[in-house]
């Protein structure tokens, strides 16, 4: 296969998110013979993208900030011009949203959260369904395969596989009317500073066992000492103890920290799928038979209201 794969680069005003590099690694792994062309939409100057054979910089006044329909329209026009073998993005909210627009315009199927892809007629794919609790093997019959790769399956480091070298940057200017961007970014609210839930190396998460909004003070204290982010289960957001932005799981965030500390969380499948990519899990729970405990690498059986403050106190004592 010699036609290039177009890989959408998910960036926020020129800052490329780590996740977007997973799509480059996915393309290298599943389509090893196809050149990889990164597609940077918007901005005056394309951000540096390592791991691609070429870069398309798509420019237009309607693309200055994130606008899903306009980005999808522009990417579709680029695809029509260069006839790629496939279009790929990382399965972030933005990646999936933009590819859904491309697929709708092209009248082609869109396969989201793909784990493996084998080109052919038809393409064979394996993808994660139901929040990762089900693997689906499927075929895709399409003139233009459009795929997003499942998050945290391919290491972004692999995107660096080709030696660093000069990569050509070509410009593409799509035809977009003034109404192309029906959804626009009009304001930004900073809801987290420093460490974020999806990038934190350690996540301290609380569930129903925490008991109240005030109960999260000890969880926050532990997170601060560990340089961790605070997460929670859906019961907690349903109770209004934490905002939905902190929820981990099928209907919350997917996290992949080095260590996930689950305090008073039973480990329901809908929660587990959000943190199953964690390298190590420590469960703190009164129930030795809770799924979170039986699946965890480490467990402390007992009342989190005693255990978490004790860990905080010991960490402070040692650091003093
Ligand atoms: C479509 C759908 C989507 C969903 N999406 C999500 C999602 O994204 N994220 C999510 O989390 N859930 C989700 N859920 C809900 C999920 O099924 C569970 O109900 C939820 O995860 C349970 O939360 P929990 O573990 O905090 O509470 P529980 O299941 O009630 O568990 C509480 C745990 O705390 C322990 N405990 C109690 N007191 C203490 C104490 N003092 N010290 C230590 N341990 C204690 C108990 O032994 C128990 O294991 C979804 C459900 C559905 C149907």
Residues 60 and 152 in one domain: yes
Q: Whose CA is nearest to atom 43 of ligand 1?
A: 285
Residues 20 and 136 in one domain: yes
Mean predicted lDDT score pLDDT of the chain = 91
Q: Does residue 178 form part of some domain?
A: no
Residues 229 and 163 in one domain: no
Q: Specify the 3-state DSSP secondary structure of 234.
A: helix
Nearest of 207, 306, 308 to residue 264 by alpha carbon: 207
**Domain extent at residue 39:** 5-172
Residues 144 and 267 in one domain: no
Q: What pLDDT, on the 0 to 100 scale, is given for residue 251?
A: 87
Q: What pLDDT, on the 0 to 100 scale, is given for residue 16?
A: 84
Q: Does residue 138 form part of some domain?
A: yes
Q: Whose CA is nearest to atom 4 of ligand 1?
A: 270
pLDDT at 179 over 90: no
Q: What pLDDT, on the 0 to 100 scale, is given for residue 156?
A: 60
The last residue of one of the domains, among 132, 150, 172, is 172
Which residues, in sequence order, are CB contacts of 279 under 8 Å at separation 6+?
256, 257, 258, 259
pLDDT tens digits for range 181-215? 888 888 887 765 667 898 899 999 999 999 999 99
Residues 22 and 150 in one domain: yes
Residues 37 and 152 in one domain: yes
Q: Does residue 182 form part of some domain?
A: no
The last residue of one of the domains, among 172, 194, 229, is 172
Residues 106 and 210 in one domain: no
CATH code: domain of residue 279: 3.40.50.1220
Tell me what the mean pLDDT of segment 102-111 comes to: 97
Cα 269 to middle of ligand 1, angstroms: 9
CATH code: domain of residue 97: 3.40.50.620
pLDDT tens digits for range 216-259? 999 999 999 999 999 999 999 999 999 999 999 988 998 999 99
At residue 200's C-alpha, the angle toward residues 195 and 206, to 5°, is 100
* C-beta of residue 159 within 8 angstroms of C-beta of residue 28: yes
Indicate yes or no: pTM above 0.85.
Answer: no
Share of the chain above pLDDT 70, in %: 94
Q: What pLDDT, on the 0 to 100 scale, is given for residue 173?
A: 96
Share of the chain above pLDDT 90, in %: 72
Cα 90 to middle of ligand 1, angstroms: 28
Q: What pLDDT, on the 0 to 100 scale, is given for residue 1?
A: 52
Q: Does residue 190 form part of some domain?
A: no
* Structural domain count, the chain: 2
Q: CA 272, CA 276: separation in Å to the nearest integer?
A: 6
Q: Does residue 193 form part of some domain?
A: no
pLDDT at 163 over 50: no
Residues 289 and 150 in one domain: no
Q: CA 243, CA 189: separation in Å to the nearest integer?
A: 14
DSSP secondary structure letters along 175-234: ---TTS-SS----------SS-TTT-SEEEEE-GGG-SSTTHHHHHHHHHHHT-EEEE-H
Q: Specify the 3-state DSSP secondary structure of 88.
A: strand
Protein residues with CB under 6 Å of any ligand 1 atom: 207-209, 233-235, 247-252, 264-266, 268, 270-271, 274, 284-287, 290, 303-305
Which residues, in sequence order, are CB contacts of 186 under 8 Å at separation 6+?
none
Residues 112 and 220 in one domain: no
Residues 212 and 149 in one domain: no
């Amino acid at each position: 296969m010699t036609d290039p794969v177009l890989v959408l680069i998910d960036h926020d005003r020129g800052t490329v998110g780590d996740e977007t590099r997973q799509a480059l690694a996915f393309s290298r792994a599943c389509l090893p013979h196809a050149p990889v062309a990164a597609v940077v939409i918007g901005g005056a100057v394309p951000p540096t993208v390592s791991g691609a054979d070429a870069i398309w910089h798509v420019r237009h006044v309607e693309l200055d900030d994130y606008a899903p329909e306009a980005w999808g329209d522009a990417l579709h026009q680029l695809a029509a011009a260069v006839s790629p073998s496939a279009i790929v993005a990382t399965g972030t909210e933005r990646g999936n949203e933009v590819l859904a627009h491309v697929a709708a315009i092209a009248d082609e199927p869109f396969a989201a959260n793909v784990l493996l892809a084998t080109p052919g007629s038809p393409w064979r794919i394996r993808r994660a369904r139901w929040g990762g609790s089900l693997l689906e093997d499927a075929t895709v019959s399409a003139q233009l395969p459009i795929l997003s790769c499942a998050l945290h399956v391919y290491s972004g480091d692999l995107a660096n596989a080709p030696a660093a070298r000069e990569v050509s940057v070509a410009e593409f200017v799509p035809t977009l009317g003034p109404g192309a961007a029906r959804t626009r970014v009009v304001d930004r609210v900073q809801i987290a500073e420093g460490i974020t839930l999806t990038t934190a190396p350690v996540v301290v998460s609380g569930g129903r066992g925490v008991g109240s909004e005030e109960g999260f003070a000890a969880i926050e204290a532990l997170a601060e000492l560990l340089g961790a982010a605070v997460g929670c289960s859906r019961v907690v957001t349903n109770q209004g103890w934490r905002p939905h932005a902190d929820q981990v799981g099928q209907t919350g965030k997917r996290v992949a920290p080095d260590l996930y500390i689950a305090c008073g969380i039973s480990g329901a499948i809908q929660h587990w799928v959000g943190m199953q990519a964690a390298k190590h899990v420590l469960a703190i729970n009164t129930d030795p038979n809770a799924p979170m405990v039986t699946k965890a690498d480490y467990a402390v059986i007992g009342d989190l209201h005693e255990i978490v403050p004790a860990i905080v106190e010991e960490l402070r004592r040692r650091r003093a």
